[in-house]
Amino acid sequence: MHRFFVDIDNIKRDSIVITGEDVAHISRVLRLKTDDEIVICDGQGMDYYVAIEDMNKYAVRTRVLKKEPSKAEPMINVILYQGIPKGAKMDVIIQKCTELGISKIVPVVNVRNVVKLSDEKDERKKVDRWQRIALEAAKQSGRGIIPRIEMPIEYERALDEAAELDLAIIPYELEKNNTLKEIIHGKDIRYMGVFIGPEGGYEDKEIAAALKKGIKPVTLGPRILRTETAGSTVLSCIMYEFDEMQ
């Protein structure tokens, strides 16, 4: 069933109005008609099953048939602190991590970042585009929320934020003892942070700073993963360990 997100202000008790770009998609691309049923999500984890009542070029009006909490949202909230990669790699990271159940993605400015954002306007433009990618991936994968893509922040600030979570980890190729499974197995974790370094990797002082803040280093095995692979790999393992793949 086709799925759309709307602003919560568009949701009334028995009716929901869809506006914006989705109107043309519903009428011209999908060619849906009166009484066709779709799913509308409020972006906060509630799904509304609705039937189309009428539409024009500005709005699609629907009546609510039933509502229920989204079945696609994991119980654990995972935040990805991602070193900003070059090219379209960030697009792939956002898309795949959204599909896998990420709660939020925070682009992080590290010492060895290949990409250098020029100014706040450039940052906002990139974040807006990344947020649209998250929206489309959330629709496709049946998510109940749209993961928020934050404005880029400095690494030190990211460490401060992550230190307040139930657990935060940083995969590191020189770590030989702590495995991801050992760190998370049997733990009661509601909010978890995952640090993934940029293409140039972490500097020693960055790892030292993370350890000082209580971020746990983990090994991902003998193979070194690319930055666009590591986040989704770790997230897959977390979701599996917390029975979110059933």
35-39, 175-179, 232-236, 238-242: segment of lowest average pLDDT: 175-179
For the segment(s) 3-69, the CATH number from 2.40.240.20, 3.40.50.300, 3.30.2130.30, 1.10.3210.10 is 2.40.240.20
Among 210, 182, 206, CA closest to 194: 210
Q: How many CA atoms lie within 13 A of 238 on its CB side?
A: 31
Q: What is the dihedral of CA 164, 167, 172, 176, to 10 degrees?
A: 140
For domain 77-241, give the CATH number: 3.40.1280.10
For the stretch 47-95, pLDDT in tens is: 999 999 999 999 999 999 999 999 999 999 999 999 999 889 999 999 9
Check: CB of residue 62 under 8 Å from CB of residue 49. Answer: no
Joined tokens for residue 78: 């995972």
7 Rama class: left (phi>0) / alpha (psi -120 to 50) / beta:
beta
pLDDT exceeds cutoff 70 at 118: no
Domain ranges of the chain: 3-69, 77-241
The packing angle between helices 227-241 and 89-100, to 10°, is 10
For the stretch 184-237, pLDDT in tens is: 998 999 999 999 999 888 999 999 999 999 999 999 999 989 999 999 999 999
